[in-house]
Amino acid sequence: MKTVRFSVYRFDPSSDKKERYATYEVPYKTGMTVLDGLLYIKERLDHTLAIRYSCRMGICGSCGMTVNGLPRLACYTQVKEVGWSLKVEPLRNHPHVRDLVTNFDEFFKKHKSVKPWLVRTDSREQESPTSQYLQSDAELEKYIQFSYCISCGLCYSACPVVSSLPEFPGPQALALLYRYLADSRDQSRSERLKIVDEAVGIWRCHFAGSCSQVCPKGVDPALAIQLLRREMMRG
Amino acid sequence: MREKNVMLLHYLSGVGILIFGGIHLFTVFFTRPLGETVWETTLLFEGHQFAILEVYRNMLLASSLWFLLLFTTFHGLNGLRVILIELFPNRAVRSATRYVLLFLGFALMVYGTRTIVIAHMIR
Ligand code: FES
């Protein structure tokens, strides 16, 4: 039977002094994902392995990890796609918790800072709308691709600016800011434009483009950042 | 000043450097196609149209040098500020850097302007 070799990053700050890579041989099954392999390890080979996952179908965004050097969703990545020998590590740019688990507090703080919700000037209308807010296809087209973001943090992990400048909002927050700015139902344009117009804000993006390359949902945060910059220049 | 305005000035000063740097390069190097004699005169101190001092005496060329000084100072120092922000992600260092660079820019402009004005006035 064909087996897949998993070399998995192990480190528990409460007990270990040093990080290490544990190697496991996992029998291959057609359609096996990286998460399937890790769950096999956890169930049959080593119960102490810490991983985070939930939906197992690329929707919740909780199983992000670095597989063979690239940030990927473990449940969305076919073993066959990446090879028979896998090196699995935690996501970069997110503080480490244990084994493959990382902390998303800072990531979600930045996510929240861009006000990822629709803002109406009439708060009473916002709380209890009296009618529907219809949009044309063209209006929807402006932001639809950015609304596919599942906040998995892969783009944030791939961003070279976040790693050198931890205060940088990151591609996810910036793309989400553009998503609401471009929505015809939103009425807080000027406030939104000010949020990331800081010394360590949107202008520090270098357009490495790695965020767009690793997004499992096909969102293009680098494009959103370009469009957001254009909107900022327009004022 | 808002960061977007600083960056807008950064981009505009970059374009300015291309334009005024182009004029500067023309008066220094690219006169060669106009003939060997013209080219030779750019190396002289004075006495010919493109000689060093004549460039400063010509109001238009002297102003273009001043604009080149302004744009390179702003563009260069702002570029340095951006690099330092990324090298030292610390708020205290960031604000200290801003004041040091502002002072440096001011000093460069004063010294450069003085040089251009003096050269312009030498008779
Ligand atoms: S487990 Fe939900 S996205 Fe992978």
CATH number, position A209: 1.10.1060.10
**Is A197 close to B82, i.e. CB distance below 8 A?**
no
User: What's the mean pLDDT when you consider all of chain B?
Assistant: 89
Task: Show residues of chain B in contact with A161, CB under 8 Å.
Answer: 86
Spatial distance between the Cα atoms of B53 and A173, rounded to a whole number of angstroms = 55
Same domain, A11 and A41: yes
Nearest 5°: the CA angle A203, B78, B17 is 105
User: Per-residue confidence at A97, pLDDT binned at 50, 70, 90?
Assistant: very high
Do the Cβ atoms of A82 and A68 come closer than 8 Å? yes
User: Per-residue confidence at B41, pLDDT binned at 50, 70, 90?
Assistant: confident
Please give the distance, rounded to the nearest whole angstrom, from the Cα atom of residue B66 to the centre of ligand 1.
Answer: 59
Same domain, A19 and A58: yes
Residue A12 belongs to what domain range? 3-102
The pLDDT of residue B81 is 95
The token pair at A47 is 């119960």
Task: Show residues of chain A in contact with B86, CB under 8 Å.
Answer: 161, 164-165, 204
* Strand pairing report for A70-73 and A64-67: antiparallel
Same domain, A118 and A186: yes
Close Cβ partners of B13 (under 8 Å, ≥ 6 residues apart): B70, B71, B72, B74, B75, B78
The pLDDT of residue A180 is 97
- Of the candidates A163, A159, A168, A150, which has an alpha carbon nearest to the alpha carbon of residue A210? A159
User: What's the mean pLDDT when you consider all of chain A?
Assistant: 95
Same domain, A117 and A96: no
CA distance A232 to chain B (A): 7
Amino acid of residue B40: E
Name the least confident of A104-108, A130-134, A144-148. Answer: A130-134
Same domain, A136 and A65: no
- Of the candidates A222, A231, A60, which has an alpha carbon nearest to the alpha carbon of residue A153? A60
**CATH number of the domain enclosing A47:** 3.10.20.30
- Of the candidates A84, A85, A88, A92, which has an alpha carbon nearest to the alpha carbon of residue A75? A88
Same domain, A59 and A117: no
Spatial distance between the Cα atoms of A169 and A181, rounded to a whole number of angstroms = 16
State ipTM: 0.79
CA atoms within 13 A on the CB side of A227: 18
Same domain, A49 and A12: yes
CATH of domain B3-121: 1.20.1300
CB atoms within 10 A of CB B110: 10
Nearest 5°: the CA angle A138, A140, A142 is 75
Overall pTM > 0.80? yes
Residue recorded with tokens 């109406």: A120
Amino acid of residue B4: K
Amino acid of residue A92: R
**Is A204 close to B89, i.e. CB distance below 8 A?**
no
Amino acid of residue A175: A
Q: Is the CB of A61 under 6 A from ligand 1?
A: yes
Residue where one domain finishes, among candidates A102, A137, A152: A102
Residue where one domain finishes, among candidates A81, A102, A123: A102
Same domain, A133 and A28: no
Q: Where do the structural domains in chain B lie, given as residue ranges?
A: 3-121
Same domain, A48 and A112: no
The pLDDT of residue B42 is 78
- Residue A215 or B48, more confident: A215
Residue where one domain finishes, among candidates A53, A80, A102: A102
Spatial distance between the Cα atoms of A170 and A208, rounded to a whole number of angstroms = 12
The pLDDT of residue B28 is 76
Q: Domain tally for chain A?
A: 2
pLDDT score of A27 more than 80 = yes
For a ligand 1 pocket test, name from A33, A36, A39, A56 the mutation site with the most ligand atoms within 8 angstroms of its C-beta.
A56
Q: Is the CB of A142 under 6 A from ligand 1?
A: no
Same domain, A93 and A117: no
Spatial distance between the Cα atoms of A132 and A149, rounded to a whole number of angstroms = 24
Same domain, A69 and A116: no
